[in-house]
């Protein structure tokens, strides 16, 4: 007879595996209703379910350390992600951050080094293709913002596809048909998906998209790039810039202002991540909100479930488009070319 798993119990009861974990580990007080608790215990008895002994042993032998690998701690997205993780894992686990040193990213060597330590779990934020190709999980592992499908490795992802489609449709409704996508020069699935979905939606709506790349998601680099190209974009009929990350968008806003290009009257600008400063830029930035803190909390809960039960489901976290003043109605190429005229 096959050994029952937490997922078997959850299917029988009709609840989440998290609820199963809370009840069998005696941590359900105030979190699971008495009626659901009774049904779970009945199902546990009927299926002769026992928690994963290996996972329990791992949790008890070194219960207080989880490692988060992230590309660049300077990006506020990852600091919010970290706080979400601590929300979900405290007080049982502490979270230590490992930051990449390979061109503002982490590689396979950093992952192997962390895995050699005695940790209860590992979380990889936005792992690159190189990391995923060489990854050999040595314990409970969770991927954040990754499209990879690896056996026994749950993922917690923002709804990139839905949010990117919403952004493209927003620009189309404003009349934008010629768009530049300013990308990060990194081999990341999440950036590839953002670019691909935006392009497909714009093309379906009768628009076109050109891809430019900056070296890293760095405000200074993006500012210099935008200052050098902003007037050229406008002169060739480009009416909107979509940035793969808000940090790039900040640079574009600064660069456009330095070049004398008005946002959004001459050029609409948008980004991804809705960082905490995006409502404070001039003008305030239209951007996709991935809710980094909530994403981190979901990842922490998923890792906890993986440690305690040996099981965990993949999660798609809701995302939303936040429309602010940096996007406006597109002007025609002819109107933009009129000397000394600013149309609003």
What is the tens place of the pLDDT at every residue in 120-154?
999 999 999 889 998 989 899 999 999 988 999 99
- Specify which residues 97 forms β-bridges with: 68
Instruction: Please give the average per-residue pLDDT across 272-288, as a whole number.
Output: 97
Residue 53 has a pLDDT of 44
Residues 209 and 331 in one domain: yes
Q: Given this model, what pLDDT does residue 290 score?
A: 96
185 and 238 share one domain: yes
- 267 and 174 co-located in one domain: yes
Mean pLDDT of 322-331: 96
CATH of the domain at 26: 1.10.260.40
Tell me the two tokens of residue 78. 């990852």
Q: With 60 as the cut, is the pLDDT of residue 330 above it?
A: yes
Bridge partner residues of 210 (DSSP): 180
Q: Using CB atoms within 10 A of its CB, is residue 293 exposed (0-12), middle (13-18) or buried (19+)?
A: middle
Domain that holds residue 147: 63-158+291-317
325 and 283 Cβ atoms separated by less than 8 Å: yes
Give the pLDDT of residue 1: 46
| pTM for this entry | 0.78
Q: Average per-residue pLDDT in the chain?
A: 88
- Banded model confidence at residue 332, pLDDT cuts 50, 70, 90: low
> What does the pLDDT read at residue 239?
97
Residues 275 and 169 in one domain: yes
pLDDT at 338 over 90: no
How confident is the model at residue 189, as a pLDDT? 86
CA distance 298 to 280: 27
Size of the chain, expressed as the number of residues it contains: 344
Q: Does the residue 344 lie in any domain?
A: no
pLDDT of residue 211: 93
284, 233: one domain: yes
What SS3 class is residue 91?
Answer: coil
Dist. CA 124–CA 120, nearest whole Å: 14
Q: Is residue 261 part of a domain?
A: yes
* Mean predicted confidence (pLDDT) in 205-214: 92
User: Per-residue confidence at 203, pLDDT binned at 50, 70, 90?
Assistant: very high
Same domain, 93 and 43: no
CATH code, domain with 136: 3.40.50.2300
Where would I find the beta strands (DSSP E) of the chain? 65-70, 94-99, 121-125, 141-144, 155-158, 178-184, 208-214, 240-243, 268-272, 286-289, 315-317, 320-322
DSSP-derived pairing of the beta strands 208-214 and 178-184: parallel
Choice among 101-115, 160-174, 307-321 with the minimum mean pLDDT: 101-115
Mean local confidence (pLDDT), 278-286: 98
Q: Do 183 and 194 fall into the same domain?
A: yes
d(CA 201, CA 178): 13
Domain shared by 139 and 241, yes or no: no
pLDDT digits (tens, 9 = 90+) for 38-96: 999 898 878 877 665 444 544 444 458 999 999 988 889 999 999 999 999 988 899 99
What is the DSSP track for 128-179? -HHHHHH----S-EEEES----BTTB-EEEE-HHHHHHHHHHHHHHTT--EE
| Euclidean distance between CA atoms 271 and 182, whole angstroms | 9
Domain membership flag for residue 343? no
- Whether 223 is in a domain gets the answer yes
Residues 230/267, Cβ–Cβ less than 8 Å: yes
If asked whether residues 115 and 230 sit together in one domain, one would say no
Helix, coil or strand: residue 75: coil
332 and 211, same domain (yes or no): yes
Percentages helix, strand, coil for the chain, rounded to the nearest 5?
A: 45, 15, 40
Residue 69 burial (10 A CB sphere; 0-12, 13-18, 19+): buried
Tell whether 1 is covered by a domain.
Answer: no
Write out pLDDT tens, residues 237-270: 999 999 999 999 999 999 999 999 999 999 999 9
Are residues 188 and 83 part of one domain?
no
Indicate whether 29 and 72 sit together in one domain. no
Q: Tell me how far apart the alpha carbons of residues 135 and 310 are, in angstroms, rounded to a whole number.
A: 19
Q: How many domains does the chain have?
A: 3
Distance in angstroms (rounded) separating the CA atoms of residues 211 and 242 = 10
Q: How far is CA 67 from the centre of its chain?
A: 18
pLDDT at position 199 over 80: yes
What DSSP element (H or E) covers 264? none
| Coil, helix or strand at residue 313 | coil
Is residue 342 domain-resident?
no
DSSP three-state, residue 112:
helix
- Using CA atoms, how far apart are residues 286 and 242, in angstroms rounded to an integer? 10
* 56 falls within a domain: no
- Both tokens of residue 222? 């993006």
């Amino acid at each position: 007879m096959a050994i029952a798993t937490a997922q078997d119990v959850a299917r029988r009861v009709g609840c989440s595996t998290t609820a199963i974990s809370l009840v069998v580990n005696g941590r359900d007080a105030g979190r699971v209703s008495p009626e659901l608790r009774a049904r779970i215990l009945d199902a546990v008895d009927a299926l002769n379910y026992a928690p994963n002994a290996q996972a329990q042993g791992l949790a008890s032998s070194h219960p207080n350390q989880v490692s988060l690998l992230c590309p660049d701690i300077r990006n506020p997205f990852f600091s919010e992600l970290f706080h979400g993780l601590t929300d979900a894992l405290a007080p049982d686990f502490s979270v230590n951050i490992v930051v990449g040193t390979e061109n503002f990213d982490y590689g396979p060597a950093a992952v192997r080094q962390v895995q050699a330590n005695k940790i209860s779990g590992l979380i990889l934020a936005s792992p690159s293709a190189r990391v995923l190709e060489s990854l050999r999980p040595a314990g409970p592992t969770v991927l954040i913002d990754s499209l990879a499908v690896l056996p026994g490795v749950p993922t917690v992802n923002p709804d990139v596809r839905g949010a990117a489609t919403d952004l493209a449709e927003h620009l189309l409704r404003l009349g934008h048909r010629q768009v530049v996508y300013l990308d990060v020069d990194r081999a990341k699935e999440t950036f590839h998906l953002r670019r691909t979905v935006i392009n497909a939606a714009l093309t379906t709506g009768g628009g076109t998209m050109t891809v430019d790349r900056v070296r890293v998601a760095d405000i200074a680099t993006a500012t210099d790039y935008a200052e050098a190209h902003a007037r050229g974009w406008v002169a060739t009929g480009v009416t909107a810039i979509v940035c793969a990350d808000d940090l790039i968008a900040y640079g574009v806003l600064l660069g456009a202002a330095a070049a004398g290009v008005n946002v959004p009257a001459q050029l609409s600008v948008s980004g991804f991540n809705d960082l905490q400063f995006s409502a404070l830029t001039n003008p305030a930035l239209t951007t996709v909100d991935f809710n980094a803190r909530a994403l981190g909390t979901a990842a922490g809960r998923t890792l906890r479930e993986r440690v305690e039960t040996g099981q965990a489901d993949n999660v798609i976290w809701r995302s939303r488009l936040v429309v602010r003043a940096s996007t406006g109605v597109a002007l025609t190429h002819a109107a933009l070319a009129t000397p000394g005229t600013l149309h609003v």
